[in-house]
Every structure is written in C-alpha cells, then in structure tokens.
Amino acid sequence: MKIIRNLQELKSVLNDWRKEFKIGFVPTMGALHPGHISLIKESKLQCQKTVCSIFVNPTQFNDKKDLERYPRTEKEDVKLLIAADCDIVFIPEVNEMYPHKDERTFDFGHLDKVLDGAARPGHFNGVAQIVSKLFDAVKPDKAFFGIKDYQQVLIIKELVRQMKTNIEIVACPIMREKDGLAMSSRNTLLSTQERKLASVIPKVMQSIPSLKAAGYSFSEVKKQVASKFSGNGYRLDYFIISDANSLIEDEDFTDSHQQVVLIACFIGHIRLIDNMLL
C-alpha cells in the first residue's frame, strides 16, 4: 500500500491508474474500526483500486475541544488498511488541504438546517469543504460512506449533484458491536460505565418497529425515549422521525412514504448518533 501525504503525488499516481482502473474512494478521519474496513471491502468489490484518506478535518468541528480529543491512531490505521489490501492511503497535513482559509459556503437547503446541522452549526459546511477538495483530488468513480451518518450521506449526494460530477455515492449499512451499538471512532472515548449506558441507544432503536406495530404513536414513543435518556449520564439531543429523503420532520408514523428515525444523545461529553429506516 502506498502512503501518500501530498496532493501532487496523489494526483499523479491516480492520473495513471484512472486510464486502466475504476477508482473507489473511502474518506475517513482515521481511528479506523470494522465499520470503515467494511467500506474498504465494498470498494474493493466494486472497483479495481481503492484509495482511503485519513484527515481530521478542522473545519467541520464547531467545538475546539471535540477536535482536540478526536482520536488519532495513524499507525494502527495504516496496519488495518494494509491488512484490508487498500491500495493508497492519503494522509495530508492541515496545510496541504487548507493552504488558505476556505471561505466557501454551501447551501443544501433544508438538509443541513436540521438535526446535526442545527446542533453543530457549520459542521456540514466543513464536511462539504473537505469532501469537495478530496473528490477534486481523487476523482473517484465511486465513493463509499456509512449510513450511520445518515444526514451526511444525503448532503454528500446533494454536493455531488451541485459539483456536477459523476461520482457515484454508495451508502453502506451500519456496522454494529455485539451489543448493537453502532460502530464509531468516538466509542473509544467512552469510559466502561459510559459504554454500558451507550448500549441502551440501539436497544431503544430496535424496539421502534414493534412499538409502531403495536399501535403506539411516535409522540408516545418519544415521551418514553425522552424519559429513558433524561439524566443518569444521558442527555438527549434529538429523537426525530422524518421523511427519509428530504429529512422533513413527520409528526407520526406513516406508511405513505419511507421514514427514518434519527437519534443523537450525549453520554457524558461524548455525542453518539444512530438511525433506523422504517
């Protein structure tokens, strides 16, 4: 596996490969776990060459402390990528990606105004800044994203439409720990006690289809969830049911269109998200 740290070298290698091979791309912020590796595997199934990037993107953190404590595990990440037979890992420094302040602002309409967009102002603009730069550099045929970041996937699809590129965005399923907790680099920041509390999140999510089938309204489910996650180490940020494509909030369960339930919950200082398509 080639380890590349500058854009010029990355572009020159890929310019050659692009003539012969389909290029798959997995952008990450490192601290890789089996969820990321499943994206690499999917890319390898669908493309002949796979590029992974590791870059903790400062412009998508609206909280400095969150950026500082974000886990950085480059050595282990590289080992995992070699074992997964990735072809290139691109690990730039901040100056390489942002030689000048990026002043671009993106407009994703409703999509980035709600949920994590409302809770983390500027977050999706920062994601769009870095992903557009990475897409320009890698020019992949396909890019692979985990559906755990449900809102991010919708925004990246819209970004690609606005960039007028042909990159296909492949949304891959959530990978879960044995107890159901959605895999996330942030899980490593949880204490043993917090990790136990976190395992309640997927249990609550898994109970939703049967509560729906039993005739509970979403507001009744929401009340139960709010009481479960109030205090005792939890702080519920949002628990919402929306149209799965527009993220326009629904008041109740319906079978008239595809819905998604999304949750964000703080366990101590760590904010975890999860979602379920109904």
- State the burial class of residue 110 (Cβ atoms within 10 Å of its Cβ: 0-12, 13-18, 19+): exposed
Active site residue 36: yes
Of the candidate residues 24, 27, 35, 140, the single one contacting ligand PAF (CB under 6 A): 27
28 binds ligand PAF (CB under 6 A): yes
Q: Are strands 230-231 and 168-172 parallel, antiparallel or unpaired?
A: unpaired
247 binds ligand PAF (CB under 6 A): no
Strand partners, 2: 88
- Distance between first and last Cα of the chain: 40
What are the C-alpha distances in Å from 156 to residues 139, 164, 196? 14, 12, 32
The residue range among 5-13, 74-82, 126-134, 252-260 that interacts with ligand PAF, by the rule CB under 6 A, is 126-134
Q: What is the number of other CB atoms lying within 10 angstroms of the CB of residue 15?
A: 10
Please report how close the Cβ of residue 215 comes to ligand PAF at its closest, in angstroms.
Answer: 37
Cβ neighbours for 86, distance < 8 A, ≥ 6 positions apart = 1, 26, 40, 44, 50, 51, 52
39 binds ligand PAF (CB under 6 A): no
Please report how close the Cβ of residue 113 comes to ligand PAF at its closest, in angstroms.
Answer: 18
- Subset of 128-157 contacting ligand PAF (CB under 6 A): 130-131, 149, 152
**What is d(CA 30, CA 71) in angstroms, rounded to the nearest whole number?**
8
Please report how close the Cβ of residue 57 comes to ligand PAF at its closest, in angstroms.
Answer: 4
273 binds ligand PAF (CB under 6 A): no
Of the candidate residues 29, 111, 182, 208, the single one contacting ligand PAF (CB under 6 A): 29
Please report how close the Cβ of residue 12 comes to ligand PAF at its closest, in angstroms.
Answer: 23
Residues recognised as catalytic: 36
Interacting residue ranges for ligand PAF, rule: CB under 6 A: 27-29, 57, 60, 127, 130-131, 149, 152
